[in-house]
Chain A
Amino acid sequence: MRRKVVNYSKYGYFFTFPFVVAFVIFSLYPILYTAVIGFTDMKGLVPKPIHILDNPFQNFKDLIFNNPSFRKSLFNTGLLWIVNFIPQIVLALLLTAWFTNQRLKIKGQGAFKVLFYMPNIITASTIAILFSTMFAYPMGPINSLFQSLGLSDAPIYFLQDKTTVRGIVSFIQFWMWYGNTLIILIAGVMGINPALFESASIDGANGIQTFFRITLPSLRTILLFTLITSMVGGLTMFDIPQLFLLGGPDDSTLTTTMFIYGQAFKGSYLYNRAAAASMILFAIAAFLSAILFYVMRDRDAAKLKKAEKENRKSARAAVEREV
């Protein structure tokens, strides 16, 4: 009797095919195209055929060495990300430690989580304009609040001071994202084996020791995920600074994505320069992700593997000697 054997493995290709096609058309091709445009002189509303520059790296060189606005945008992007991410992760970790501490039994956690996450769901454009309206001069809600609390006598022109404006943009980012980070971290702690916490408490560890010796090390993968997603998000920060003050005053909140948008789509049509800036941004994202992966790699696991290998080797050697 002949049995018909059906091989199903080809369906793996069929089922992932739409993804691959859409990726190639809408992501891969545009990225390669952007990279090529970065080496050309493509400008103007109706672009001419592609013409590679005599010195292909001219656009990159111009951006890095002769464009203070681009350098400033990189600096701002980094600054705004660091200033919002550090308090964000610290507060999220602190709240995680509190919410997951079995001895404290904080009530109303569900309600707190719902409220802390809420700003994340509202359209960033709405939030940016809301904040810029609230800081209005001479009479806006924040100015009224300051005066009624006795913090200031005269109205303050918040939106003219570079440091204040950067602070507000960072604050908005912090305010929108700490709830998200918190929920992810709490989920991470819930995933840790409870036996670890039990044995720690039997050994007499206090809350702080448990947090630093058990919770944090076990959260490494989750922290890596948070860092990378936050970093990619921070590098591409656009909506909030764009609609908050259009990058002002004096380019103090101009981010790199806003720079790219400004060069290509706000009437200058400098596609070549914008494409080169995009590629620099892409390279930075890839470089930083690689560093993060390297720094956060599981050292203990690597060490364990190495030790295992050596063990096996010496065991084999011992067996050989006996023989």
Chain B
Amino acid sequence: MEKTQKRGTAGLKFTKAIIYVVCIFLAILSIFPFWIMFVNATRSTAEIQSGLSLLPSTHLISNLQVLLGKSFDPIQGFLNSFIISSSATILTVYFSSLAAYGLVTYNWKLRNAFFTFILCVMMIPAQASAIGFYQFMYKLQWTNNFLPLILPAIAAPAVVFFMRQYLLATLSLEIVEAARVDGSGEYKTFNRIILPLMIPAVATQAIFAFVANWNNLFMPLILLTKKEMYTMPIMVSLLRGDIYKLEFGSIYLGLALTALPLFIVYFLLSRYIIAGVALGGVKE
């Protein structure tokens, strides 16, 4: 009896050891490419060519000079990406919350039809309509304009879905009734009472909307042709071109600069981001 128990705990220990080894390996795999990126951003091209190093060197400033000496303008890219991403994020969370509130609170005829419609729309890939979208914007003369990258954010079916689930679980209609008795109009009730109650859901969805817009390459690549309107991902794609062909140090530095703000935001908010992914996935 004692023997089998001992064998059991030994087996458990062995399994656990394997699990930790696998997890640590995967963790290193997650960090390794970024570590190389940050280290190589501080090394000269000659150093990079001579072999791998895990410790930074001293060529950060000279890499930066080479990087900025050419057409790479990270500050402009940052600014453009920031304008687009933050405007789109605000529109997405506000109008999705509004639509979700409309779905949950009011008993209207097309309520169920609208919900089914949202479920179907969620599966349409945005790229499938890109040609028509481009032609449409071309006719409106909205190419090289941020509006076509911002305004479509009003209709974000996945976010409406998420907000609906959140409201179903948290909103009690008595609050709405009480507000009505106190003479608050429906819009005022939403803006002053419901939206503040939805802050946790709004925050997670805002993070995701921001990252998704920030990382979007396809639409900006199609719509923006003027250099001063380039977003961050398009700026990054310039690093691939011939101008930096043999300047490895500055390529790594350029990549590091584009990733750095996301790293900072991620490590500050990682707890909420991970909770958000988890919440978004539970779709019963």
Contact = CB atoms under 8 A, between A and B. Distances in A.
B84 interface: no
B132 A116 contact: no
The binding surface of chain B is classed by DSSP as helix
A249 interface: no
Interface string B103-124: 1011111110010000001011
B60 interface: no
Given A34-B130, A118-B266, A221-B283, A148 B273 contact: no
A4 to B, nearest CB: 13
A115 interface: yes
A33 B102 CA distance: 30
Contacts of A22: 95, 151-152, 154-155
A228 B125 CA distance: 11
A131 B49 CA distance: 16
A131 B101 CA distance: 44
Q: Which 7 A-B pairs have the closest CB atoms?
A: A15-B102, A184-B281, A33-B132, A12-B108, A12-B106, A187-B278, A34-B132
A11 to B, nearest CB: 5
Contact of A187 (B186, B236, B281): B281
Interface in A149-172: none
Contact of A12 (B103, B135, B148, B259): B103
Interface stretch (A81-89, A137-145, A197-205, A306-314): A137-145
Interface stretch (A61-69, A209-217, A259-267, A315-323): A259-267
Given A27-B152, A27-B155, A123-B259, A134 B217 contact: no
Contacts of B281: 183-185, 187-188, 222, 225-226
Nearest to B211: A121
A127 B281 CA distance: 25
B280 to A, nearest CB: 8
Contacts of A145: 52
Given A18-B99, A106-B16, A282 B125 contact: yes
A74 B239 CA distance: 28
A18 B98 contact: yes
A115 B27 contact: yes
Nearest to B235: A125
Interface in A206-264: 221-222, 225-226, 228, 232, 235-236, 238-239, 242-243, 257, 260-261, 264
A285 B125 contact: yes
A20 B98 CA distance: 12
Interface in A99-137: 103-104, 106, 108, 110-119, 121-127, 129-134, 136
A286 B274 CA distance: 30
Contacts of B135: 33, 37, 42, 47, 271
Given A9-B109, A26-B154, A133-B252, 18 more contacts: A19-B160, A27-B129, A33-B131, A34-B131, A104-B16, A115-B30, A122-B262, A123-B259, A125-B233, A126-B258, A126-B259, A133-B248, A139-B48, A183-B274, A185-B281, A232-B123, A238-B217, A261-B130
